[in-house]
A and B are shown apart, each in its own frame.
Chain A
């Protein structure tokens, strides 16, 4: 079966533009996560969904960041009025359920460059 897919794989935006990043989790996976990975760093948690419910958004760096998963499958991370410090790889991961100790399967990421 297919893994987690993300699109676009690369996005270049001018400072101030809005961007939308898409994540298609593994079919049937209940939980979905977004991470931000700066160059040379480990992934940092942004937000977590269980089905369509956003249970934790404590990692979102500012109110310019918004994530949704309206039907409990595909998720979109939106960044408004992008800034240069938003340049990073945005990773999406999914797990089968919200139970403990389930492996998080990561997508390939979207590399965002803000000029």
Chain B
């Protein structure tokens, strides 16, 4: 069965600093990988996805993630944090059967 592990349930960065949210996956077959963002009192919104094409994936709001098979990782980055990036971020994996398995989430706080 597939799974994802998000390292760090809470991450704080200063406005303008690099954002790095970590995600490692486990899958016996080539996975599809996703990052979703959840703003307070809202549903989840897709940030970006990896579906076996380019390993560096660009998403909305300046975020990107790199699929590294050797490290079984799919970390999310953004060069410069903005106050509006404060939210909860979820990594998820699918092995093409439609069922997403989500990580436990990382709450990102931006320090002014």
A and B interact physically: no
The residues of A with any CB-CB pair to B shorter than 8 Å are none
Interface residues of B (CB under 8 A from A): none
